[in-house]
Structure 1
Amino acid sequence: MAAANPLQSLQEEVTCSICLEYYKDPVFTKCAHNFCRSCIAVCPEGSDSGVHCPQCREVCPEGELRPNRQLQSMVELVKQLAVQPGRALEQSLCEKHDEKQKLFCKEDEDLMCVICRESREHRSHTALPIDEAAHEYKGELQACLQSLKEELGDLLESKLKEEEGYKAMMKKLITDKLKMVAEFDGLRQLLKDQEETLLMRLEKMERSIKMAENANEGKYSSKISFISDLIAEMEKKCEQPPLELLKDIRRTLSRCRNATPHLSEGLKKKYKALVTLDPDTAYRSLTVTEHGRRVTRTLDPDTVILDLTLTEDGQYVTRTSTSTRMSLPENPKRFTLRACVLGRTGFNSGRHYWELHLLKDGPWCVGVAQECVSRNGSLSESPERGVWALERKTNGQYEALTSPRFPLSPQQCPVRLGLYLDYEGRRLSFYNADTMEHFYTFTNAAFNTRVYPYFLVGLQTNLRLV
């Protein structure tokens, strides 16, 4: 193989490694490699403002590419000597035969003369004239170069599309971010407004509670003070000699019984009892209806009330029809001489509260009675006979059925009557359920056995449990 020719070395020095042509406007990089300015410009980018060197892959900032004027002058000198790529080697001589090297051996990829072609070493090799071989390889190089340029173009196009995609994604992200920030700002403002509204509402409720608390304090303070003074008076009364103790005793007891504390709505709900009537105990002229919650009495056992209507003037109008009542079965629990009926369930412990609606202004008597109360004889209601009750008489007067009876003067006639039983406390109290006016309280009641709600119904009277 022939040694490298100085002209060949000169050619290589002035040939661009990218386009394989003489340098055109040569520049040198930071890593000291030379390229055509146009060739280095299309190399893949290494960063936002630089390219990769095709030889050492080092990133070369675009601003640091410097023109190589000395190399450009050398290219011009080679051109003046008519030294073109692929042609300079034609002037070289074979060192072995001292003949011009006009042929190119494709197997050895080297130049040779005509004598070398006929030698045993190259006889089996393919040899082409230099111009023809250069043209052939130049065509292959240009085809490869075109393919690489197309691939580079595709890469640059793909890179540009992806960059545009990333930019679109970033733009959408920024838009979504701004939208989210605006929405959360709106939510924060909404929450702030709601917080202020709720705080104002809570402050208003707090003021109302404090006002109610102050009113409640005043209400209970006066009552507590009254009860405390009454206790002191009763204790002093109990210590007096018999003659002094009996003096004006009924008035003193009346003051004590009427000093029952106010029954609050909370206590009413806490101790509310579901009271129903027991038809087996009902007198023959009484009709128990509405699942044991209502009782009516008629003038005649054969007249049954079918309906009850409240008119605009507040009066009750009944629609009646006449029918033959079926004979009631004999029952030892039934009242035979008095229009009475007992509750189905009795009480032998605890506290209980129930109400009844007085649908008529007729006479009635309600309270509690012992289980052993007389059923088949005349009955004079009193604690001694096992009945603790309040009565409304035909003339509209009210009495507590004590011995003797205690007259009452309520501020208004009750429409709903409330009863509060404290079995262990031996107390039974009566209230106007609408105004909670206290009517009377039986104290030290002898509840020795089970007691049942007790109802005596007057003529044309209707009672309904609430």
Structure 2
Amino acid sequence: MDSAFQKELTCFISLKYLTDPVTIGCGHSFCQACVCLSWEGAKIPARCPICRNTSEQTEFRTNILLKNLVSPARQASLCQFLSSEEQMCGTHKETKKMFCEESKNLLCLLCSNSQEHEAHSHCSIECAVEEYRYHVCLLSEIISSEYQKLHPILLEEEKQHLEGLKNEGKKILQQLKKSEATMVQKGRHLREMYEELMNMCHKSDVELLQDLGDILTRSKSMQLNMPQPVNPVLSARPITGLIDRFRQFQVEISFSYEISSQNIMLFDDVRSLRLRRDLQEAPFPSGRSHYFAAWGDQAFTSGKYYWEIEVDSSWDWAVGVCKDTWLRKDSSRVPSEDTFLFLCVKEDNRYNLLTTSPVLSQYIEKPLGQVGVYVDFDSRSVSFVNVAKSSLIWAYPACSFNYPLRPFFYTGHT
């Protein structure tokens, strides 16, 4: 086939023969699916992938002439492929012309009539290709139609989600500003009271006895009305289809368990890190809790993986992944840049949710039930999800790692 003619029948985007070809305003033609996906999310007006001319077109009609030209060209290409020496039947040295519906293999006529295949359904390869292509195109149209219905719903949901987070952020900022103003005012009063107490130390015994009752009363009143710290919490907003999307890559994780209450100090290290911000000076508490550590038996190096872990009723737990060599038996290292963990850490009588590394506070609701972990080696990113709420907890930016990762789960009872 003439190469120039073949080029005219080839989609510039997919570099394959045109499928359901459409022609846009500038005259260039593409597969309908290719141009729709290419223009999805593009600026309005979109541009032709070849000449870069703008186009306001949003609806497409199949170019029947091109479609009729592509069909024989595709058949000729198939015949040329099947006639090649590499595709000849190795047993009978015949051209493969038949397709077996049961085994999904290409066969020559003699093989199709053999004892192995005589009870199977067969048809010519050309007919099979056309039938399969018809079903694929039909399914593509159905999926495209459903996507066109769903896409604006998802965009509106995303818009509402972002708007809700924006409004929540404004409210939290107002709370923080109000709390800050109150704290400044209380701090001024405490300073004044401190100066007054210092002055009283220099008064005579009689004056001290006369004024002590009044200042004690005011001191108690001030202590009772001390402002409480603001603990902002962003609500978990559900994302349609989030869990279904991740569960396409769901795997069963086998863990190797071992209990270590002496050597692994993850939660205590995080507490020290948050309180002191100086790892060299942060002492490890002498009292040890009973910690239950679990490492995945398999280290992942490529692909996409998702699993869910039940977080128990303890205050302290951590889920995620770590570098294959990060945490071993008898190790006592604090969270490093080789860890991607979501932690719930008890501090006094409340909990803090954090991610590593670095250690960042997450101002969200505490997940109940299961936490999902999604690892994407294509983008080299890790994400955590609240399964019950179908909401995203935290996603690390792309290119966060370039080494094998091992699933990790850690819990402690204090």
TM-score range, shorter chain: 0.3 to 0.5
TM-score, scaled relative to structure 1: 0.32
TM-score, scaled relative to structure 2: 0.35
